[in-house]
C-alpha cells in the first residue's frame, strides 16, 4: 500500500501554495519556499506549532486543502521513477492499493491522468492526519491478511508511526516531505532512496538500512 502525497505524487509545492492561501483564515503564518528544507525535519506536532496551526483547525484545514488541490491535479507530477516501477511492484503483490489522507477523488483523477488507475485494487481515504493505523488494521481485516504480510510505503514520520501501531512493516521513502534524518529517527523497517530500490525491496531483497 502506498501513501499518495509525497510518495506517489509530488505535491509539496502545491500544498505549500494552498496552505498559504488558507493560512490567514486560521491565524497561521505562510510558508516561504526557503523554509521547506528546515520544516522537513519536523514531526507533525512540531510542524503545526511552528506554523501556528491550532489542533482544532486541522480537520477543516485539511478538508479545504483537499478541495483546492483538485484544481492542481492537472499540473501535478509523479514522484521520480515511481510510475515507471508500478508494474514491477504490482507483479510481486497479491493486493495493491493506496491509503491516503487525501481524497479518493483527487487520487483517482491523478492516477487516471497518468494512465495507472488499473494498477490499484483500492483507494482508501483517511479523514484524520493521524488516523492511518485504524485504517491499516481495517484493510488487513477486509482482505483476511496478517498485518505482518502487508507493506506500507510512505514519506512521513506519521506514516511510520501508524504502521508500527498497526503492526504493519513500513518502507520510508526519501523523496517526500520528511527528511531522511527525521525518518531514521522514527525507525521504519526500511528506507529507500529511489524507486528502483523500492522495487528491489518489494521483490524480496529487502536490505535493512
Q: What is the pLDDT along the chain (209 residues), one digit of tens a residue?
A: 999 999 999 999 999 999 999 999 999 999 999 999 999 999 999 999 999 999 999 999 999 999 999 999 999 999 999 999 999 999 878 999 999 999 999 999 999 999 999 999 999 999 888 889 999 999 999 999 999 999 999 999 999 999 999 999 999 999 999 999 999 999 999 999 999 999 999 887 554 44
Cell 503492526 belongs to residue: 167
pLDDT digits (tens, 9 = 90+) for 1-20: 999 999 999 999 999 999 99
The reply to whether 3 belongs to the active site is: yes
Options 3, 155, 159, 189, the catalytic residue: 3
- Measured CA to CA in angstroms, residue 126 lies from 98, 137, 143, 162, 164 at distances of 10, 12, 18, 12, 17
Please work out, in degrees rounded to the nearest 5, the angle formed at the alpha carbon of residue 193 by the alpha carbons of 189 and 198: 65
Q: Is the CB of residue 153 less than 8 Å from the CB of residue 3?
A: yes
Residue 24 has what DSSP assignment? G
What torsion do the CA atoms of 46, 79, 69, 44 make, to the nearest 10 degrees?
-10
Amino acid at each position: 500500500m502506498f501513501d499518495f502525497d509525497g510518495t506517489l505524487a509530488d505535491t509539496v509545492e502545491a500544498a505549500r501554495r494552498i496552505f498559504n492561501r488558507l493560512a490567514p483564515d486560521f491565524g497561521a503564518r505562510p510558508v516561504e519556499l526557503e523554509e521547506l528544507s528546515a520544516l522537513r525535519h519536523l514531526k507533525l506536532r512540531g510542524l503545526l506549532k511552528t506554523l501556528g496551526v491550532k489542533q482544532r483547525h486541522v480537520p477543516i484545514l485539511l478538508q479545504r486543502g483537499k478541495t483546492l488541490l483538485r484544481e492542481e491535479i492537472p499540473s501535478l507530477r509523479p514522484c521520480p521513477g515511481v510510475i515507471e516501477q508500478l508494474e514491477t511492484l504490482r507483479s510481486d503483490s497479491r493486493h495493491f492499493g493506496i491509503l491516503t489522507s487525501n481524497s479518493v477523488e483527487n487520487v483517482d483523477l491523478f492516477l487516471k491522468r497518468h494512465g495507472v488507475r488499473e494498477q490499484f485494487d483500492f483507494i482508501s481515504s483517511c479523514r484524520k492526519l493521524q488516523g492511518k493505523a485504524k485504517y491499516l488494521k481495517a484493510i488487513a481485516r477486509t482482505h483476511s491478511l496478517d498485518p505482518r504480510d502487508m507493506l506500507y510505503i510512505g514519506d512521513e514520520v506519521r506514516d511510520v508511526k501508524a504502521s508500527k501501531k498497526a503492526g504493519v512493516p513500513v518502507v520510508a521513502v526519501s523523496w517526500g516531505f520528511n527528511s531522511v534524518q527525521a525518518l531514521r529517527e522514527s525507525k521504519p523497517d526500511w528506507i529507500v532512496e529511489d524507486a528502483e530500490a523500492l522495487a528491489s525491496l518489494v521483490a524480496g531483497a529487502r536490505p535493512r538500512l
